[in-house]
Amino acid sequence: MSSVTTPVVELRDVHVVHRARGGGWFDRDRVHALTGADLTIAAGETVGVVGESGCGKSTMAKVLVGLQQPTSGEVRIDGHDVWTMTAAERRHHIGAGVGMVFQDPSTSLNRRMPVRQILRDPLDVHRRGSGAERDSRVRELMQLVGLPDSVADALPSQLSGGQRQRVAIARALALEPGLLIADEPTSALDVSVRAQILNLLLDLQERLGLAMVFVSHDIQTVRRVSDRIVTMYLGRLVEITPARSMPEGAQHPYTRALFSATPGLLAPIDPIPLVGPVPSATRPPSGCPFRTRCWKATEVCAETLPELTPGTANGHGPHAFRCHHPVPLGTSDAELVELARRETRTTTPLHVEEKP
């Protein structure tokens, strides 16, 4: 983790709408995977992204790395709006500016290429240096991620899972990007090598001054590695909180509920209870997307999307949330569990799905 300076990537009101698998282009068949995302990532900082399955984490990661074109909105990398460039300019600009490490190195690496060629490929495509310089860069990359020379001619299938992920990390760093996106980078690995790969990523980030976006279901790890944590719910960024203030610096009821379900963060208590399942991303609720499960929801939550409101996060740094009824600072998880149980018994949460 390091200090926050110049923005390397900015999302401005980014929306991604997919056609539902097997569906047409009717409104009812549209999946709102990312809705109105605004995010600025500064050089050297780590932004963790958390939220339940299907909330849009991977979609946002793909937008940041140029693999997903937004339906609307702007993606600026190093100050340039990448979707107004020609395809060739964009490939060049994004390829050199952002690297991505995927969850499963077995599927993200070309199975027919030896390690040496996998690492040389981005250098060849971007015509970086002479042949000899590219060979030397490949050796340097292997050293950087702790791979022995002896695996240079091996195919991915001949490597261990941890070694394969080291190759994927080296490839993502080949063009010296300013930002590394790591989408669940350790979850497909054996538990025994997860810590090694995580420490490697943190060490590289520190040494190379990289900004990093770390997407994970592992909230403990996200809290440990991040400067700021983005909470996503149903395609929306609902809270951005300084990691050091978590969990009690968070004021969005959903962030508090998500963190309360993570064992070991505070005294062991029951998680804050939520009502029902996450609504469908094809028919998101009107107003606040979380209101159908929220014990604090009132009529205004169904009527109006809350503005992004600055918070104080107990003085730990910039903080913002979208909520009409934020959790007061200083409220413990135990108090929230009690409140949520009581409110859920005495009121009917706003379950109705709107937006036909």
Residue of 221, 172, 206 lying closest to 67 (CA atoms): 172
Q: Is 170 or 234 the residue whose CB approaches ligand ATP more closely?
A: 234
Q: How far is the CB of 54 from ligand ATP (least distance, A)?
A: 4
Q: Is the dihedral of CA 157, 159, 162, 166 positive or negative?
A: negative
Residue 53 binding ligand ATP, by CB under 6 A? yes
Residue 59 binding ligand ATP, by CB under 6 A? yes
Q: Is 56 or 349 the residue whose CB approaches ligand ATP more closely?
A: 56
Q: Which of 9, 14, 50, 55 binds ligand ATP (CB under 6 A)?
A: 55
Burial of 211 (0-12, 13-18, 19+ CB in 10 A): buried
Q: Is 77 or 281 the residue whose CB approaches ligand ATP more closely?
A: 281
To which H or E segment does residue 236 belong?
Answer: strand 236-242
Residue 31 binding ligand ATP, by CB under 6 A? yes
Q: Which range touches ligand ATP (CB under 6 A), out of 55-63, 121-129, 151-159, 219-227?
A: 55-63
Residue 18 binding ligand ATP, by CB under 6 A? yes
Q: Which of 141, 182, 237, 281 binds ligand ATP (CB under 6 A)?
A: 281
CA dist 71 to 52, 75, 83, 93, Å?
Answer: 23, 11, 11, 20
Q: Which of 35, 46, 58, 216 binds ligand ATP (CB under 6 A)?
A: 58
Contacts of 159 (CB under 8 A, 6+ apart): 115, 151, 167
- Residue 60: Cβ within 10 Å count: 28
Instruction: Let me know: does 45 contact 1? Beta carbons within 8 Å.
Output: yes
Q: Strand order of the sheet with strand 72-77? A: 30-42, 7-19, 72-77, 80-81
Residue 21 binding ligand ATP, by CB under 6 A? yes
Q: How far is the CB of 184 from ligand ATP (least distance, A)?
A: 7
From residue 234 to residue 273, the character string flagging contacts with ligand ATP as x (rule: CB under 6 A) and all else as - is: ----------------------------------------
Q: How far is the CB of 25 from ligand ATP (least distance, A)?
A: 12
Residue 22 binding ligand ATP, by CB under 6 A? no
Q: How far is the CB of 17 from ligand ATP (least distance, A)?
A: 9
Q: How far is the CB of 29 from ligand ATP (least distance, A)?
A: 10
Residue of 62, 89, 66, 68 lying closest to 76 (CA atoms): 66
Q: How far is the CB of 203 from ligand ATP (least distance, A)?
A: 26
Phi, then psi, of 339 in degrees rounded to 5: -60, -45
- Residue 160: Cβ within 10 Å count: 12
Residue 345 binding ligand ATP, by CB under 6 A? no
Q: How far is the CB of 60 from ligand ATP (least distance, A)?
A: 7
Contacts of 97 (CB under 8 A, 6+ apart): 8, 9, 77, 78, 177, 178, 179
Instruction: Let me know: does 118 contact 167? Beta carbons within 8 Å.
Output: yes
Judged by the rule CB under 6 A, the positions of this chain that interact with ligand ATP are 18, 20-21, 31, 33, 51, 53-59, 281
